[in-house]
Amino acid sequence: MRILIAEDDELIADALIRALKRAGYAVDHVGSGSEADAALASQTYDLLVLDLGLPRMSGLEVLQRLRARKSTCPVLILTARDAVQDRVSGLDAGADDYLTKPFALPELEARVRALTRRGTGQARVVTLGPLTYDQADHAVTIDGHLLDLSAREVGVLEVLLLRVGRLVSKEHLVDHLCGWGEEVSLNAIEVYVHRLRKKLESSGLKIATVRGLGYCLEKPDASVTPAA
């Protein structure tokens, strides 16, 4: 999942970026309202973490412009403004949640998990045969036994699970895994898929390769079909 952080305080932004990346999210960061508006107009995000006191365009205006474009991207307002009217204005403008500074990172991470679950419209727990994936905790188990997966292996598996039986390109996997300023090569995607295949052996689940096109986590007795 891909998150945009719009925060002009570099210390806070750095802490958020580190925490969310550790949790397995791809994270982009901007420090002004105008940059946030441009990013949101050109890319699709699973969540926006938005400071209201941004330079060059207020966070409230960013939110209003986002909703005017009919975007349903979940928005978590993160701000030092704790007056009731500020919260009401943000929520009325289309925010989904509101957290005031200072805040505890575990609480923010819990709110992020809740909002991204709501935004995807997917179940909190995804099951395929003996494999279970908890989207909130990014935990993967086979017959109840926890798999030892890296954050990027979990990211690849999540995309394949949510599109089970459908073709997923390497480029789509790269977009899902990377924030701005990061690089994941197509060869690295091949490595992650190779590792996942080994770790999924006991489940009987298979990741098929369609040469030149991408990968598909196969349904039992199902053929590979291109994604819409």
Instruction: Decide if pLDDT at 12 tops 60.
Output: yes
Q: What pLDDT sits at residue 223?
A: 41
| 100 Cβ contact list (under 8 Å, min separation 6) | 78, 79, 80, 81, 82
pTM score, whole prediction: 0.61
DSSP class per residue in 24-72:
T-EEEEESSHHHHHHHHHHS--SEEEE-SS-SSS-HHHHHHHHHHTT--
Dihedral over alpha carbons 101, 98, 15, 136 (to 10 degrees): 140
Q: What pLDDT sits at residue 90?
A: 82
pLDDT digits (tens, 9 = 90+) for 48-58: 999 988 999 99
Query: What are the domain boundaries of the chain?
Result: 2-120, 125-217
For domain 125-217, the CATH class is mainly alpha
Q: How confident is the model at residue 226 (pLDDT cuts 50, 70, 90)?
A: very low
How far CA 1 is from CA of 26, 62, 156, in Å, comes to 6, 21, 10
The Cα 156–Cα 12 span in angstroms is 28
Hey, what CATH topology would domain 2-120 get? Rossmann fold (3.40.50)
Instruction: Decide if pLDDT at 88 tops 70.
Output: yes
Same fold, 2-120 and 125-217: no
Q: How confident is the model at residue 165 (pLDDT cuts 50, 70, 90)?
A: confident
